[in-house]
Structure 1
Amino acid sequence: MSVVEIDVHGEVLVLTINRPEAFNALNAEVIESLRSRVVAAADDPELRAVVITGGGPKAFCAGADLKELQDCDADQAAKILGSGQRAFREIELAEIPVITAVNGLALGGGFELILAADIPVLAANARLGLPETSLGLIPGYGGTQRLPRAVGDVVATHLMLTGTKLDAHRAYALGITPIEPVDEGMATQAAIAIAERICAQGPEAVKAVLRSIDRGRDASLDGGLQVETGLAALAVAGSESTEGIAAFLEKRPADFGTVRPSNPLGES
């Protein structure tokens, strides 16, 4: 039995963490499987988006598998955590939209995976948190860095120091997700619908937006604007925009599937 199940809906790859007996906890095998499949999907011209979810109704992912860390010394733990951080960073930087569909618990590494992805979709029964301090630990897969960037230092500090869990509506109010919570059991369906909407956009333009956001995130405003200018100029000159603008003027849907990129969005 695979720890990550694979399903394809048209141009959307759905990855389901398949350890419901362990509340879909992240071990090294799960993390590597998610990383490798997202990276491969970004290079696959037949795929345009990825949805990650958890098997069973109780948990998206309840965190890291503590059995892998229980008897580690600091050096051993650093290797495991560093590997997980690098995997999440590759998922974050992959030039394909990654949408998380969250039913039930998303704690510790599960919440950190959501923060590394692009768009979370939360079911009404979702519960998010970084409760590591209750175990004498701290987040180790990027939570101390990404959560403050998502909700601000004060809110992130409170959540991590107290171990407070957010319900779906509070997470929506804080801006962790742009999508209002959906009915329990409907997160994956809603995530696929969003992915399909993304698939209707210009593929090179989608990649360029992701690239511009990633490169500009920690740059100065002026540096980020330079990145945007270069990528936007390539888009203007590309054949994809020729189809998009023509479709707009002709009042018809754009058909980007017929476009062969004459100027793929490379390095700017």
Structure 2
Amino acid sequence: MQFITVDHAGPVTTITLNRPEVMNAINIEMHHELQAAFDAFAADPDQFACVVTGAGDRAFCAGSDLKAAAAGGIPAAYPRNGYAGLIERFDCPKPFIAAVNGVALGGGFEVALACDIIVASDRASFGLPEPLVGAVALGGGLHRLARQMPLKQAMGAILASRRIGAEEGLRMGFVNEVVPAADLAAATQRWVDDIVRASPVAVRTSKAVVTRGLAEPSVESAMRHQKDYPEFVAWRASEDAREGPRAFAEKRKPNWTGR
């Protein structure tokens, strides 16, 4: 990998956008490296959670590399799972955590919004400034922002190309936690630890049930249909579903296999 780094610590993958000299802006090659890295994480049965972050202390990701686009043209097509190989990865129920250490703008904000949890440095800021350069945020940002915060606040941020600080993002509801910059890694690790202490199958099923349920017309419909969701069916038959009650009865720590 030339433009990203991939690290593993037990069942956790960390993918770092590694172009700090251009605020981790994404070029064509980086899109495909990210697609490959997320594919590997999704396919690895021993990897249970993924942290996405940016190198350096200035930026998580400033979005698309406009200088590279001006020189080489806009990509004819993004990878199979869309921008950064992530924003259309609707079939991966494993949890993604964005550790946002600086600016997350345009496509960078869309990458963060595609994650399940956002932990932000107090220096972080977010925005969809595409209209300022005659573009439109079509990498899911318009749809996700309108679903992850109050609609009027989302429309204000989108239509006025507003920059949103980390604390404001927390109040608006799309940021989970804001910490001093020096504490970002430790705070992210706390979220990771809380996730991986639970059954990986139960975590994946919980994410899938939430996601599928949001597409239902009502809570009543979601609850009626959840037993038929494939992830729910797989959980009922899983070893983890048997191990949890067994470990509780035997007063020991569960031995999760993720299967």
TM-score by length of 2: 0.87
* Aligned-pair CA distance for 1:147: 0.8
Q: C-alpha deviations, 1:142-191, integer Å up to 9, x for none?
A: 11111101113211110011111111111111110222x11103323322
Partner of 1:186: 183
* Aligned-pair CA distance for 1:107: 0.6
The 2-side partners of 1:160 and 1:187 are apart by 27
| Unaligned 5+ runs, structure 1 | 262-268
What is the aligned counterpart of 1:201 among 194, 198, 203?
A: 198
* Greater displacement, 102-111 / 234-243: 234-243
Partner of 1:264: none
- What's the C-alpha RMSD, in Å, of the aligned pairs? 2.6
* Greater displacement, 79-88 / 92-101: 79-88
* Aligned-pair CA distance for 1:116: 0.9
Q: Secondary structure at the match of 1:141?
A: coil
| Unaligned 5+ runs, structure 2 | none
Q: Secondary structure at the match of 2:242?
A: helix
The 2-side partners of 1:8 and 1:55 are apart by 16
Contact map agreement 1:92 1:116 (CA 8 A) in 2:
no
Mark the CA change 1:65 to 1:147 in structure 2 (over 3 Å): closer, same or farther: same
* Aligned-pair CA distance for 1:215: 2.3
What is the aligned counterpart of 2:223 among 208, 222, 225?
A: 225
Partner of 2:22: 22
Aligned pairs for 1:228-267 within 5 A: 228-230=226-228, 231-232=231-232, 234-257=234-257, 261=259
* Aligned-pair CA distance for 1:135: 1.9
Q: C-alpha deviations, 1:105-160, integer Å up to 9, x for none?
A: 01111100011111111011111111122222221211111110111321111001
Partner of 1:42: 42
Counterpart of 1:61 in structure 2: which amino acid? C
Partner of 1:88: 86
Q: C-alpha deviations, 1:192-226, integer Å up to 9, x for none?
A: 33223212211211221222233233232255334
Matched, 1:70 2:70: yes
Partner of 1:265: none
* Aligned-pair CA distance for 1:245: 1.6
Q: Aligned pair count?
A: 256
Partner of 2:158: 160
* Aligned-pair CA distance for 1:72: 8.4
The 1-side partners of 2:10 and 2:190 are apart by 11
* Aligned-pair CA distance for 1:92: 4.5
The 1-side partners of 2:89 and 2:81 are apart by 13
Counterpart of 1:243 in structure 2: which amino acid? E
Partner of 2:131: 133
Q: Secondary structure at the match of 2:70?
A: coil
Runs of 4+ in 1 over 4 A off after TM superposition: 80-83, 231-234
Q: Secondary structure at the match of 2:158?
A: helix
Q: Secondary structure at the match of 2:87?
A: helix
Counterpart of 2:135 in structure 1: which amino acid? L
Contact map agreement 2:11 2:47 (CA 8 A) in 1:
yes
Counterpart of 1:14 in structure 2: which amino acid? T
Contact map agreement 2:16 2:55 (CA 8 A) in 1:
yes
* Aligned-pair CA distance for 1:237: 4.6
Contact map agreement 1:127 1:166 (CA 8 A) in 2:
yes
Counterpart of 1:142 in structure 2: which amino acid? G
* Greater displacement, 128-137 / 82-91: 82-91
